[in-house]
Amino acid sequence: KAGVTQTPRYLIKTRGQQVTLSCSPISGHRSVSWYQQTPGQGLQFLFEYFSETQRNKGNFPGRFSGRQFSNSRSEMNVSTLELGDSALYLCASSPTGSGGHQETQYFGPGTRLLVL
Amino acid sequence: QKEVEQDPGPLSVPEGAIVSLNCTYSNSAFQYFMWYRQYSRKGPELLMYTYSSGNKEDGRFTAQVDKSSKYISLFIRDSQPSDSATYLCAMNPNFGNEKLTFGTGTRLTIIP
């Protein structure tokens, strides 16, 4: 079974631009979560989608948004990029996100975003 | 103050040594505790998952949770060069494992 895939793997943008990142979960997984990873803050939860609905949200500004499609693929968008948005953006999928060890989150390799 | 504190290291130990990795936390609502391993240029992968206080062993790995001290540990016995990675603790107050709160990670190097 194929793992979680994320595209693109690397991205360079300039301040003020917007960016869209894509995540394809493991086949059959319906919950997709997004995280931002930086050296100083570590992994921080952005949001979680299940059945095309945002079910949980972290403490990030409205410039960060996402969506999920009927095939469970998810995209996240960051508008008006700032230098501090440079990070590794990780996507994780699980069957339903309802918990327990059986609901292990599987992470993708991430998209590394550099904002200049 | 962060909800979860983890020494970033780096930590270097010789092959075969016992490694101890630790996290402290401030939110007493956390009940589910996890350790993830992240190799360079890869996403994190789940190593251990424990609920509430106590110990859990899986091969060379042992996870300990002390809720009274708000302190969790991961021990690696007979460490191998392949254990070289960044280790992240994560925790959650609810049964669902979405919306995890992570430590910043400890970079571990096992020296052959």
Per-residue model confidence as pLDDT tens digits over A15-31:
999 999 999 999 999 99
Residue of A nearest to B46 (CA): A104
Q: Of A40, A45, A110, which is closest to B100 when you measure between CB atoms? A: A45
Residues in Cβ contact with B60 at an 8 Å cutoff, skipping those fewer than 6 apart: B76, B77, B78, B79
Instruction: Give pLDDT, residue B1.
Output: 75
Total residues belonging to chain B: 112
Sequential DSSP letters for B37-83: EE-TTS--EEEEEEESSEEEEETTEEEEEETTTTEEEEEESS--GGG
B45 touches chain A (CB under 8 A): yes
Query: What residue has token string 């990142």?
Result: A21
Residue A99 pLDDT grade (very low, low, confident, very high; cuts 50, 70, 90): low
Around Cβ B8, how many Cβ atoms within 10 Å? Answer: 14
Q: What average pLDDT does this structure show over A97-110?
A: 73
CB-CB neighbors (< 8 A) of B102 in chain A: 35, 42-44
Instruction: Give pLDDT, residue B82.
Output: 96
Q: Which two tokens stand for residue B84?
A: 């070289």
Q: What is the pLDDT of residues B51-103, one digit of tens each?
A: 888 899 999 999 999 999 999 999 999 999 999 999 999 998 876 556 788 99
Q: Which residues pair with B64 in a beta bridge?
A: B55, B73
Q: Between chain A and chain B, how many beta carbons pairs sit less than 8 Å apart?
A: 68
B23 touches chain A (CB under 8 A): no
Closest CA to B101 of A25, A4, A51, A59: A59
Pick among B98, B99, B107 to test the A interface (most A CBs inside 10 A) = B98
CB-CB neighbors (< 8 A) of A35 in chain B: 102
A58-66: long-range pairs with CB below 8 Å, 24+: A58/B99, A60/A36, A66/A34
pLDDT over 90 at B11, yes or no: yes
Q: What is the pLDDT of residues A47-66, one digit of tens each?
A: 999 989 998 899 999 999 99
Instruction: Give pLDDT, residue B63.
Output: 96
B75 touches chain A (CB under 8 A): no
Percent of chain A with pLDDT over 70: 93
Residue A102 pLDDT grade (very low, low, confident, very high; cuts 50, 70, 90): low
Q: Of B45, B96, B104, which is closest to A42 when you measure between CB atoms? A: B104
Q: What average pLDDT does this structure show over B100-109?
A: 92
CB-CB neighbors (< 8 A) of A45 in chain B: 98-101
Q: Which residues pair with A16 in a beta bridge?
A: none
pLDDT over 80 at A109, yes or no: yes
Instruction: Give pLDDT, residue B54.
Output: 85
Yes or no, beta carbons of B98 and A31 under 8 Å apart: yes
